[in-house]
Every structure is written in structure tokens, then in C-alpha cells.
Homo-oligomer: A and B are copies of this chain.
């Protein structure tokens, strides 16, 4: 049966999943890039961005497994881009260039309709305006038995957690302080939602925790 997963979602020591003040220059908010140093150093991520080398150890294994057996993605509108409100035109096509890293259907939660965008390499961005349950239904159909990964951001994951829909989460805690931004654990009682820690692996770059139900 297909699972609804969070993978490689990275938070700071003080629990923030992104910095404050997202913009075109700071897709992850101010200071948010430092969160992802563990991932960006891996062979998996370097290969994805056309670079050579990279770490091949535990961090890389966690980065890689986040892309295995994924048939569809879901993301919040702020993960897709810095534009708020109605779409001014069709120019913005995500942060990831002509050939995005997803290579499968991606369902973007938004209140503003927009036609789907077919990208190179198998990624199609679909814009879902009727809520998280509808997005998950579409994604499940598109995934055809494979897993669905929710990318983020914090608010999107929290909504799916509150709805009891997420089966498994891999969180990476980076050894940085952000101080402000979107707090991942705010109002989220993971044990009460039925999660228990099933893996705990540490590297010099991150503390990896896998939570399952």
C-alpha cells in the first residue's frame, strides 16, 4: 500500500523548518540555507544539481531514500515560489529550473487556480485549490501504488499531521540556530498523533530521526 511520507525535512536545533522572510533571494527564509548543508553535501543532491562528488555515508543514504519509490509529491504554495496572492502571469515555474528534481506529478496547494505546467524530465506541476484532502486524493491516484512525499513547508506538513494522514516522517536536525521563522513543533503533539521513534542515527552534520506510526 502506498505511504504518505515526509523525508529529509530539516529543522534547526531550535525547531524551525525555515527562516523568516522568504523571498526570491532567500527561498528558505533568512538563514534557511544553513539548515540544508547536510543534504547539499551529499552525492545524491550534488548529482541532482549536476555536480560531482559528495558524501556517500549516512547523510547520503537518507537523502537518497527520500527519492525512492515516490510516485507523486505534494507541496505548499510557498515551497513552490515566493509569489503570494493571485498568479500575475505564467512566468514562475518553481525554483528548480526547466528540469526539476521531482520527475513525477507534483501537487501544489494554493487558493489561486492555474493551469498545470509540464516541465522537462517528467515533472508536472498541478495546482490544487480545493484543500489538502483533495490534493492527497489526486496525488494518490497519480502515484499509482507508489508512495507520496510531502515536501513542505511547515504549515503544509502540520495540516497533514493534524489530519492524521502522514504515515512516516524522516526529520533531520541541523546543528544551527535560526531563532525565528516557522516552528515545526508548534501545536504538534507527535506522540499523541501516534508517532514513535523508529530510527535515530547521528552524523557530524545532522541528527536523523525516523518517526512511524
Interface residues of A (CB under 8 A from B): 13-15, 31, 171, 173, 175-180, 183, 185, 188-192, 195-197, 200, 202-204, 207, 209, 211
Contacts and interface: CB of A to CB of B under 8 A. Distances in A.
A77 B185 CA distance: 27
Contacts of A188: 14, 179
Contacts of A173: 13, 173, 207
Given A14-B15, A183-B185, A185-B183, A177 B191 contact: yes
A200 B176 CA distance: 10
Contacts of A207: 13, 173, 175, 202, 207
Copies in the complex: 2
Nearest to A209: B13
Greatest chain B CB density within 10 A among A173, A176, A179, A204 is at A179
Contacts of A171: 13
B191 A178 contact: yes
A197 B176 contact: yes
Nearest to A13: B209
A130 B145 CA distance: 64
Given A207-B207, A209-B13, A179 B200 contact: no
8 contacts: A13-B197, A13-B209, A14-B190, A15-B15, A177-B191, A177-B196, A202-B203, A202-B204
